[in-house]
C-alpha cells in the first residue's frame, strides 16, 4: 500500500515539474510525440517478432496515437496543472493561516503578560489599601480608648457604665449573629457612647435629686455632643451615628432627633437596650440599683413599643439561656 502511494507521489511530482518546465502546450506536444514514438517502436518490435511489418500497420501505429494521444495528454496535463494550482493556493492559505495564528499567539502572550502584571500591581495596591484600612481602624480604636480614658478620669462611675454596656451589647450582637464589621462598630460605639457627658457639669451628673427641666435638657444634649466629637475623627462615621442614636426609641419618643422604627440603625437599637439594662441594674446617685430582674421586665413590657423586639428577645436569651452576668 505504501509502495503504491510512493509511486503516485513520484509520478505527481514528475508531472508538475514537467509542466513547470515546458508549459501546458509544449508539454502536450512532447507527450503526444512520446506516445507516437512509443506506439511506433512497440509495433515495430512486435512486428519483427511475428515477422510481419506492413506499411498500413506502420501508418496506423503513427496516425492513431497522433489523433488520440494529444487530447488525452492535454486533459491529463491540464488536470495536473489545476491540481498543482489548487495545492499552491491551499499551501498559501495554510501559510497565511499559520502566520495569523503565530501573530495572534504572540498577541495573546503579550496580553497575558500585561494582565499578569496588572493583577500583580492591583494585588499590591489592594494589600497596601488593606494595610492602610487596618492601620486606620487601629488608630481609631486607640483614639476611642483614649477618649474613654479621659471620661473615666473625669467620672469613673460613667466609665464603668460604658464598659458594662459594651460587654452586654456585644453579647446581644453575637446572639443576633451580626456580621463582624457591625459588631466591631457597635463595640467601639458602646465604649464611648456617653462621651458627650464630658460637656455636662459634674454637679448635674452626680445630683442626688430629681433634675430640673433645664438640667434634663443639658443631659439630652449628650448624644449630639458625643456625635460631634467623634465625627471629627477620621473613619469613625458609623461609630458617631450609633452614639447619636443610642437614646432614640422605637415609637419616636426618644432623643435627640425623635427617630422611630427602622430610622434607627440596628446597632443603636442594641445599644439602647444594653444601656437601659445596665442603668437600671446599677446604683445611681439619685436612686439605688433596681436589679437585673426589674430591668428585664422593663424591656419585656415595652418590647416593640420602645425597644426593638428582636433585640429584646436576643437580650432575654443572653440572660436566661447563656447565663450572662455583669462582672
Q: How far apart are CA 149 and CA 268, in angstroms?
A: 22
Q: Is the peptide bond before 256 cis (omega within 30 degrees of 0)?
A: yes
Among positive and negative, which fits the CA dihedral 216, 258, 291, 222? negative
One domain for residues 202 and 53? no
One domain for residues 99 and 182? no
Q: At what angle do helices 180-191 and 237-245 cross, to 10 degrees?
A: 60
One domain for residues 308 and 161? yes
One domain for residues 165 and 67? no
Q: How far apart are CA 323 and CA 228, in angstroms?
A: 37
228: containing domain? 155-320
> Residue 218 corresponds to which cell in the numbers above?
443639658
Give tens-digit pLDDT for 123-140.
888 888 778 767 777 776
Report how many domains make up the chain.
2
Q: In 3D, which of 201, 190, 180, 306 has the Cα closest to residue 246?
A: 190
> Any catalytic annotation for residue 197?
yes
Residue 117 lies in a domain: no
Asked if 273 and 309 count as a contact pair (C-beta separation under 8 A), the reply is no
Residue 65 lies in a domain: yes
Residue 165 lies in a domain: yes
One domain for residues 10 and 68? yes
Residue 122 lies in a domain: no
Render each residue's pLDDT in the chain as its tens digit; 327 residues.
Answer: 444 556 555 555 565 565 555 555 555 666 666 666 776 666 667 666 666 666 655 665 556 565 655 566 666 666 665 655 555 555 666 777 777 888 888 888 888 888 888 888 888 888 887 787 677 777 767 777 777 777 666 665 565 788 899 999 999 999 999 999 999 999 989 988 888 888 888 777 777 777 888 888 888 999 999 899 888 776 667 899 999 999 999 999 999 999 999 999 999 999 999 999 998 988 776 677 788 999 999 999 999 999 999 999 999 999 999 999 887
Distances from the Cα of 145 to the Cα of 82, 139, 311, angstroms: 92, 10, 26
- In residues, how long is the chain? 327
One domain for residues 198 and 312? yes
One domain for residues 166 and 269? yes
Residue 147 lies in a domain: no
One domain for residues 70 and 184? no
Q: How far apart are CA 257 and CA 276, in angstroms?
A: 19
One domain for residues 204 and 297? yes
Q: In 3D, which of 79, 69, 70 has the Cα closest to residue 15?
A: 79
Q: Which of 89, 112, 135 is the last residue of a domain?
A: 112
One domain for residues 90 and 204? no
According to DSSP, residue 325 is labeled: -
Residue 134 lies in a domain: no
Residue 289 lies in a domain: yes
One domain for residues 246 and 160? yes
Other CB atoms within a 10 A radius of the CB of residue 31 amount to 20
Q: Which of 112, 144, 166 is the last residue of a domain?
A: 112
Annotated catalytic residue: which of 197, 241, 303, 322?
197
Q: Which of 83, 112, 141 is the last residue of a domain?
A: 112
One domain for residues 103 and 19? yes
Residue 307 lies in a domain: yes
Q: How far apart are CA 240 and CA 259, in angstroms?
A: 16
CATH number of the domain residue 222 falls in: 1.10.3210.10
Q: In 3D, which of 188, 190, 195 has the Cα closest to residue 138?
A: 188
> Residue 270 corresponds to which cell in the numbers above?
442594641
Amino acid at each position: 500500500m505504501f509502495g503504491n502511494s510512493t509511486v503516485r507521489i513520484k509520478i505527481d511530482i514528475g508531472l508538475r515539474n514537467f509542466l513547470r518546465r515546458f508549459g501546458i502546450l509544449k508539454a502536450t506536444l512532447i507527450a503526444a510525440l512520446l506516445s507516437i514514438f512509443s506506439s511506433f517502436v512497440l509495433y515495430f518490435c512486435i512486428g519483427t517478432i511475428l515477422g510481419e511489418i506492413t506499411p498500413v500497420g506502420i501508418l496506423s501505429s503513427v496516425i492513431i496515437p497522433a489523433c488520440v494521444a494529444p487530447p488525452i495528454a492535454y486533459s491529463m496535463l491540464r488536470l495536473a496543472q489545476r491540481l498543482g494550482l489548487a495545492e499552491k493556493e491551499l499551501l498559501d492559505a495554510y501559510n497565511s493561516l499559520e502566520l495569523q495564528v503565530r501573530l495572534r499567539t504572540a498577541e495573546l502572550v503579550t496580553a497575558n503578560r500585561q494582565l499578569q502584571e496588572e493583577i500583580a500591581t492591583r494585588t499590591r495596591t489592594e494589600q497596601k489599601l488593606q494595610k492602610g484600612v487596618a492601620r486606620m481602624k487601629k488608630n481609631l480604636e486607640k483614639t476611642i480608648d483614649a477618649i474613654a480614658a479621659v471620661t473615666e478620669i473625669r467620672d469613673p462611675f460613667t466609665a464603668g457604665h460604658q464598659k458594662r454596656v459594651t460587654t452586654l451589647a456585644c453579647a446581644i450582637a453575637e446572639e443576633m449573629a451580626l456580621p463582624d464589621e457591625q459588631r466591631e462598630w457597635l463595640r467601639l460605639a458602646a465604649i464611648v457612647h456617653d462621651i458627650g457627658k464630658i460637656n455636662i457639669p459634674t454637679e448635674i451628673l452626680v445630683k442626688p435629686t430629681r433634675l430640673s427641666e433645664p438640667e434634663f435638657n443639658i443631659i439630652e444634649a449628650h448624644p449630639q455632643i458625643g456625635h460631634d466629637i467623634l465625627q471629627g475623627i477620621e473613619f469613625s462615621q458609623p461609630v458617631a451615628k450609633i452614639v447619636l442614636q443610642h437614646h432614640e426609641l422605637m415609637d419616636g419618643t426618644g432623643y435627640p432627633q425623635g427617630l422611630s422604627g427602622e430610622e434607627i440603625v440596628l446597632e443603636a437599637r442594641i445599644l439602647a437596650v444594653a444601656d437601659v439594662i445596665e442603668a437600671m441594674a446599677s446604683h445611681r446617685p439619685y436612686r439605688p440599683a433596681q436589679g437585673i430582674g426589674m430591668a428585664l421586665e422593663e424591656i419585656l413590657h415595652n418590647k416593640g413599643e420602645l425597644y426593638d423586639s428582636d433585640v429584646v428577645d436576643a437580650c432575654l436569651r443572653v440572660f436566661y439561656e447563656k447565663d450572662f452576668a455583669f462582672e
